[in-house]
Amino acid sequence: MKKFGLIPKLIIGIILGVLIGSTMPKEFVRIFVTFNSIFGNFLGFIIPLIILGFVVSGIADLGSSAGKMLGVTTIFAYGSTIIAGLISYFVSSKTFPMFISQMQNVGDAKNPEESLLSPFFVVDMPPLMPVMTALLIAFLLGLGIASIKGKTLYNMANEFQGIIEKVIKVVIIPLIPLHILGIFANMTYTGEVKTIFSVFWKVFLIILAMQFFIILIQFTIAGTLTKKNIFTLLKNQVSGYLTALGTQSSAATIPVNLQVAEKNGVSKGVREFAVPLCATIHLSGSTITLTACSIAVMLLNGMNYTFPQMLGFIGMLGITMVAAPGVPGGAVMAALGVLQSNLGFSEAQLALMIALYITQDSFGTACNVSGDNAIALLVDKVNSKFIK
């Protein structure tokens, strides 16, 4: 019997949460709120370790294979991710207030969390270090390992990454549906869930439109510079897009994406280098989703944001998600620290971001891998003209 995927479990969790919140007494709902408090505190504890576990190894891996083609591919991938995030910021900032502000009454409390139920008790789990400290240490160690080519630290980083990935797969991911159940039960009991549902279906439609738009832009640029038919390139990419949509994994889509790159005329050496690398470092679709959802959550909670603040957030996303683990929702797990440190998200807001992101993760992944082939075309052009 095929196992239930994470998305069906999340949907069931949301439905059960709404039912429990609308039918059960206050004390019963507070049982789930208490679990949420414990799980949320554990999440806060593990975030710096996730950053250390994946960013150190990710940067070390990139540095160990340093070369001109690596630099070109990384610049294209990071640039595409930043541009996607900026498009998401400007579109979200202009469109979301048009329908989210209608849901907020001037007389209401600025932060909806103030009306949520409190847990029976709290178990403090202070993190070992602040998120920014973890990021700085990760960059320092990753770059240092790549520079000195130290095998001992490199092996330790990989083993620590394995431990953290195991924690995510065995503990965090299986418990997320229960965590989401508790969040929605709490929001339903206090009357906040109607606002969430009435807003986020519109948000998702806008996110999907932005993802299709960035794919069109990526292939328009790649097709124009390589003098190839844009519509043929887009047609070739359909198989890769649908594979990513079904598997919800960039890694699982690599074999299909390699075939697409071959159809596009990308040379063997470049496609076998650029496509697997971009599956790790290019996350334009994920950045669009995280940027849009974070702005929506902040608007719902009456939180102010500025362009410099969001620019820093988008810039950090492009780095931290490089090492996103190969599990559904890995990008949002890697981004939790940035959401917390740059935007000041609380545990409840982080949980909501996880739910919102994972429910459309397939489309974000499909957008990511589609852009990978546009980048492969550009790298092939640069390689044949300047590097080779």
- pLDDT value, residue 126: 85
In this predicted structure, the answer to whether residue 131 has a pLDDT above a threshold of 80 is no
Residue 129: strand, helix, or coil? coil
Higher pLDDT, 11 or 223: 223
Burial of 139 (0-12, 13-18, 19+ CB in 10 A): middle
Higher pLDDT, 273 or 156: 156
pLDDT, average across residues 88-109? 70
Return the minimum-mean-pLDDT range out of 55-59, 111-115, 351-355, 381-385: 111-115
Q: Which tens digit of pLDDT belongs to each residue from 158-169?
A: 888 888 878 877
pLDDT, average across residues 274-302? 86
Task: Kindly state the percentage of the chain with pLDDT values over 70.
Answer: 84
pLDDT, average across residues 279-283? 81
Return the minimum-mean-pLDDT range out of 84-98, 180-194, 206-220: 180-194
- Binned at pLDDT 50, 70 and 90, residue 107 comes out as very low
Q: Which tens digit of pLDDT belongs to each residue from 325-384?
A: 445 566 777 788 888 888 888 877 887 787 778 777 778 888 998 999 999 999 888 877
- Binned at pLDDT 50, 70 and 90, residue 91 comes out as very high
Q: For tokens 């960035």, what's the residue? A: 214
Burial of 280 (0-12, 13-18, 19+ CB in 10 A): buried
- pLDDT value, residue 89: 95
**Contact 235/351 with Cβ under 8 angstroms?**
no
Question: What is the C-alpha to C-alpha distance for residues 254 and 215, in angstroms, rounded to an integer?
Answer: 17
- pLDDT value, residue 195: 66
**CA dihedral of residues 373, 376, 381, 387 (deg, nearest 10):** 180
- Whole-number average pLDDT of the chain: 80
- pLDDT value, residue 13: 83
Model pTM score = 0.73
- Binned at pLDDT 50, 70 and 90, residue 214 comes out as very high
Q: Which tens digit of pLDDT belongs to each residue from 170-183?
A: 887 788 788 878 87
State both tokens at 180: 């989401």
- pLDDT value, residue 2: 46
pLDDT, average across residues 261-273? 83
| Number of other residues whose CB lies within 10 A of the CB of residue 374 | 29
In this predicted structure, the answer to whether residue 106 has a pLDDT above a threshold of 60 is no
Residue 264 φ/ψ, nearest 5 degrees? -75, -5
pLDDT, average across residues 294-300? 88
In whole angstroms, how far apart are CA 232 and each of 100, 238, 274, 350, 373? 39, 10, 20, 40, 13
The CA radius of gyration of the chain, in Å to the nearest whole number, is 21
Which amino acid is located at 128 in the chain? L
Domain ranges (residues) in the chain: 6-387
Higher pLDDT, 76 or 148: 76
Question: What is the C-alpha to C-alpha distance for residues 279 and 198, in angstroms, rounded to an integer?
Answer: 34
Question: What is the C-alpha to C-alpha distance for residues 77 and 196, in angstroms, rounded to an integer?
Answer: 33
Q: Which tens digit of pLDDT belongs to each residue from 20-29?
A: 988 888 889 8
227-253 burial, b if ≥16 CB within 10 A, otherwise e?
ebeeeebbebbeebbebbeebbbbebb
In this predicted structure, the answer to whether residue 18 has a pLDDT above a threshold of 60 is yes
99 Cβ contact partners less than 8 Å away, ≥ 6 residues apart: 199, 202
177 Cβ contact partners less than 8 Å away, ≥ 6 residues apart: 6, 9, 10, 12, 13
CATH topology of domain 6-387: Proton glutamate symport protein (1.10.3860)
Task: Kindly state the percentage of the chain with pLDDT values over 90.
Answer: 18
- pLDDT value, residue 338: 85
